[in-house]
Amino acid sequence: MGDNNYDKELDVAVRVVQMACSLCQRVQEGLVSSTSNDHVKSKDDDSLVTVADWSVQATVSLMLSESFSNQKVSIVAEEDVQTLSKSDSVGLLTAVVNTVNECLAEAPKYGFQSPKEALGTSQILEAISRCNSTGGCNGRHWVLDPVDGTLGFVRGDQYAVALALIEEGKVVIGVLGCPNYPRKKEWLNHHHHHQSYQSMPKMSDTSDTWEKGCVLYAQKGSGEAWMQPLIHGNKKHTWSSSAQRVLVSAIDDPALATFCEPVEKANTNHSFTAGVAHSMGLKKQPMRVHSMVKYAAIARGDAEIFMKFAQSGYKEKIWDHAAGVIIVEEAGGVVTDAGGHPLDFSRGLYLEGLDRGIVACSGTTLHEKLIGSVYASWESSNL
Ligand X SMILES: Nc1ncnc2c1ncn2[C@@H]1O[C@H](COP(=O)(O)OS(=O)(=O)O)[C@@H](OP(=O)(O)O)[C@H]1O
Any contact of residue 148 with ligand X (CB under 6 A)?
yes
Measured in whole angstroms, the distance separating CA 332 from the mean position of its chain's CA atoms is 19
Any contact of residue 357 with ligand X (CB under 6 A)?
no
For residues 2 and 313, which CB has a smaller minimum distance to ligand X in the complex? 313
Any contact of residue 105 with ligand X (CB under 6 A)?
no
Q: Tell which one of 233, 244, 266, 353 touches ligand X (CB under 6 A).
A: 266
Give the Cβ contact number of residue 341 at 10 Å: 11
H/E segment holding residue 278: helix 270-280
Which of 117, 111, 128, 116 is closest to 62 using CA atoms?
Answer: 128
What phi and psi values does residue 83 have, to the nearest 5 degrees?
A: -60, -40
From 178-186, 264-272, 339-347, 372-380, span contacting ligand X (CB under 6 A): 264-272
Query: Within 43-62, which residues bind Mg ion (CB under 5 A)?
Result: 47
Q: Tell which one of 14, 31, 171, 263 touches ligand X (CB under 6 A).
A: 263
Amino acid, res. 133:
S
The whole-angstrom separation of Cα 89 and Cα 81 is 11
Site track 112-151 with Mg ion (rule: CB under 5 A), x = hit: ---------------------------------x-xx-x-
383, exposed or middle or buried, with CB in 10 Å at 0-12, 13-18, 19+? exposed
Any contact of residue 316 with Mg ion (CB under 5 A)?
no
Active-site position among 59, 99, 150, 336:
150
Which of 83, 113, 115 is closest to 96 using CA atoms?
Answer: 83
Q: Is 59 a catalytic residue?
A: no
DSSP state of 120: P
From 63-71, 184-192, 313-321, 369-377, span contacting Mg ion (CB under 5 A): 313-321
Query: Within 275-294, which residues bind ligand X (CB under 6 A)?
Result: 290-291
Query: Within 74-103, which residues bind ligand X (CB under 6 A)?
Result: 78
Q: Is 53 a catalytic residue?
A: yes
C-beta nearest to ligand X: residue:
264
Residues in the annotated binding site for Mg(2+):
78, 145, 148, 320
Q: How big is the chain, counted in residues?
A: 383
Is 19:106 a contact under the CB 8 Å cutoff?
yes
Residues serving a catalytic function are: 53, 150
